Every structure is written in C-alpha cells, then in structure tokens.
Amino acid sequence: MPRARVLALDPAAYRPHPLHGGLRDWVESNCYLDLWIELLHALELEVHACLGFTLASDFEGDQWTFAKPGNFDLVELYGISIEELTLWRSLEEHCLVQLIHGHLPLLEVDAFHLPDVAQTDYRTNHVKTTIGVCAIDTDARWLEYFHNAGYYRLEGDDYAGLLRIDRAHERIELPPYCEIVKLQRRIRLADDRLRRVALRQSALHFARGPADNPVNRFARTFDAQLARVVAEGEPGYHPYVFAGLRQMGAAAEYAALHLRWLADAGEAPLLRAADALGEVSATARVLLLKTARMVARGSVSDVSGQLAQLRDAWQRAHDALQQALGA
C-alpha cells in the first residue's frame, strides 16, 4: 500500500484556527506549538485548554522557554499521546507505516524544502523546523503536512529533499529527531469537565514556574545582548528575538488567552492575571519592534521603560495567579 492518510483534509480548503489570525500580538509563536494548535483544531478539539503550560515560561539564561505542549497535558485533556520515533528505516517508509497505523509522524526537517515558507527559507536557507505528516503517497511522491499556521502539500523534488531520498552519494548525516502522535484513544471531554482538568493542569504548571521575577534576570543580560545584536545587524537580530522576545511575548499572550477561557464564569484573579499577561505580550512586541529599529540604524537606544513595564506586569500576573492557583 503506497498511500496512507490520517485525516481527510484538503490543503486548498483548509482554514487555520482563529488563534492564527485576527488582532494578535503574535500570530505565530514557534513551529511546534503552532503545529499543535492546527492539529487540535483539525481534530475539532478545544485548543485553549492545553495552553496552561505557558504559565511555567521562564528566562533560561540565553532564551525564554521554548513553548510546547507536553505529553501529560495532551493525555489528560485529549487522550492523545506522543512517543519518540526510532529511525531504523528510511523516513519515507516510517511515515507510511505510521500513517497506516493511524499515527501522525512529527518530523524535524529542513525548511529549505518547504514551499509554504516561500517568503523566507524555501530554497534559500537551511533551517530546522517541525512538521506533522498527515498523508503520503510514496509512488506519486507527495505528502501533506501541518506546519506553522496551516496545512499544505509538497511533491517532487521537495518530497525527495525533505525525506532525504536519493542522497546516498552525500555525506553521512545524523538522523533527525522524530515523534509519533497516537490518536486512537483521543477523547472529547464535556466543557465543564475539560475546564476542571485544564485548571488542575494550569495549577501544576504555575507551581513549577519561576519563583522569582524572570524579567529581572532577562533585563540584566539585555543591554549586553542588544549591543551585540546591533553590531551584528540583521543576521543576529532574527535568531535573538525569536529565542527571546518572541517566546516571552507569545507565551504570555497564549497564557492570557488560556486564563480568559478558564475564567468563563468571571473569576476575578484569573482575569487580572490575563490582563497583566496581555500587557507582557504587548510590551514584548513593542520592545521587539524597537530592537528592529535599533538594528536598522546601527545604534542602541534606551529601553529601560519597556523593561520596567515588563517587570511590573509580570509581577502583577504572578501575584494574581498565586491567589487563583497557589496552594
């Protein structure tokens, strides 16, 4: 059987989840989280329920936490589990076998071969990213996949390049990290039960989050990093703001959206925390744009006002969450 499909989707007719549109500070966050938003959307599951993991976002010394849903949340909320895929055959064969078994493979791939990023990396840059393969035809050489905020198809040379076919003459490469998403036991909880489970998960994430104010640690590194990024120009700007300001801001925005969904009955502390996290998100975006202007003109300007806003908003969010979710 050369063809397999998990979900009956049409790339031409696919419409992204509302989280990937509208008046958002961060329409996209990172490839892994954005992929999961669209996969859960395609499965007709409530996406907001799984976003509580963002409450543990922290400054890790040289980046903010890379936002991604964990296996425990996915199992508890949706009955979906993730396992690592051991590569002992070709990527193409593994994708076919897993799809035949009803699993959706998540592959680390080179964005060089992804036509959906034609405006950035396609046939231009070699950049690691993650896709979720939903359908494949190994004879016709095409596959359909989730990536970032959409659902797409690729074929021909892109198919061969992405799956590392016909490359025996090239140097030996390390295999990519891959996972399988197991969907057979997925569940759809009633709204009230889903909120109860999500609230419990959110409390666990908040408890494992930073006990101090991580913006203080971020601020102590920002001036030195900013001078370096401005000196490097655009090549240094994009990776720095992706690992830092984008992950900080997107996590805060998703946390705010999650808390507003949780506070459907109007719980005041959750709503106060959501408002403060919304301020973190908006201020991080302002700081990102200000950094871009500094890089463009090649000189550093004062950002102490934005850093003070971030510090204050994060603390207000933490204090409100302590009241709502703390032991």
- For the stretch 80-91, pLDDT in tens is 999 999 999 999
Average pLDDT over residues 276-302: 96
Lowest mean pLDDT among 41-55, 110-124, 158-172, 210-224: 158-172
According to the model, what pLDDT value does residue 266 have? 73
Do the beta carbons of residue 289 and residue 33 sit within 8 Å? no
- The pLDDT-based confidence of 171 (bands split at 50, 70, 90) is low
Mode of pairing for the β-strands spanning 128-137 and 103-110: antiparallel
- The pLDDT-based confidence of 172 (bands split at 50, 70, 90) is low
φ and ψ of 164, to 5 deg: 60, 45
More confident residue, 80 or 234: 80
According to the model, what pLDDT value does residue 1 have? 67
Average pLDDT over residues 289-318: 95
**Interatomic CA distance for residues 87 and 97, integer angstroms:** 12
Q: What residues have CB less than 8 Å from 32, skipping those under 6 apart? A: 66, 67, 68, 130
- The pLDDT-based confidence of 293 (bands split at 50, 70, 90) is very high
Listing DSSP states for 204-238 in one string gives: HHHHHS-SS-HHHHHHHHHHHHHHHHHHH-HHHHH
Q: Would you say the pTM of this structure is higher than 0.85?
A: yes
- The pLDDT-based confidence of 202 (bands split at 50, 70, 90) is very high
- For the stretch 135-168, pLDDT in tens is 999 999 999 999 999 999 999 999 999 999 876 5
φ and ψ of 22, to 5 deg: 75, -165
- For the stretch 239-252, pLDDT in tens is 999 999 999 999 99
**Interatomic CA distance for residues 321 and 241, integer angstroms:** 27
Write the burial class of residue 170 (CB in 10 Å: 0-12 exposed, 13-18 middle, 19+ buried). Answer: exposed
Q: What residues have CB less than 8 Å from 298, skipping those under 6 apart? A: 230, 233
According to the model, what pLDDT value does residue 174 have? 81
**Interatomic CA distance for residues 164 and 162, integer angstroms:** 6
Q: Does residue 215 surpass a pLDDT of 80?
A: yes
**Interatomic CA distance for residues 298 and 237, integer angstroms:** 11
Q: Pull the structure tokens for residue 177.
A: 């990290």
According to DSSP, the residues that pair with 110 across neighbouring strands are 128
3-state helix vs strand vs coil in the chain, percent to 5: 55, 15, 35
φ and ψ of 63, to 5 deg: -165, 165
Listing DSSP states for 35-76 in one string gives: HHHHHHHHTT--GGGGGGGGGG--B-SSSB------HHHHHH
| Mean pLDDT estimate for the chain | 94
**Interatomic CA distance for residues 276 and 291, integer angstroms:** 22
Average pLDDT over residues 305-324: 97
**Interatomic CA distance for residues 107 and 91, integer angstroms:** 9
Do the beta carbons of residue 47 and residue 37 sit within 8 Å? yes
According to the model, what pLDDT value does residue 23 have? 83
Q: Pull the structure tokens for residue 161.
A: 């390049």
Q: Pull the structure tokens for residue 47.
A: 């996406």
Do the beta carbons of residue 133 and residue 105 sit within 8 Å? yes
- The pLDDT-based confidence of 326 (bands split at 50, 70, 90) is confident
- The pLDDT-based confidence of 169 (bands split at 50, 70, 90) is very low
Listed in order, strand segments (DSSP E) in the chain are 3-5, 81-84, 103-110, 128-137, 142-147, 150-155, 178-182
According to the model, what pLDDT value does residue 175 have? 87
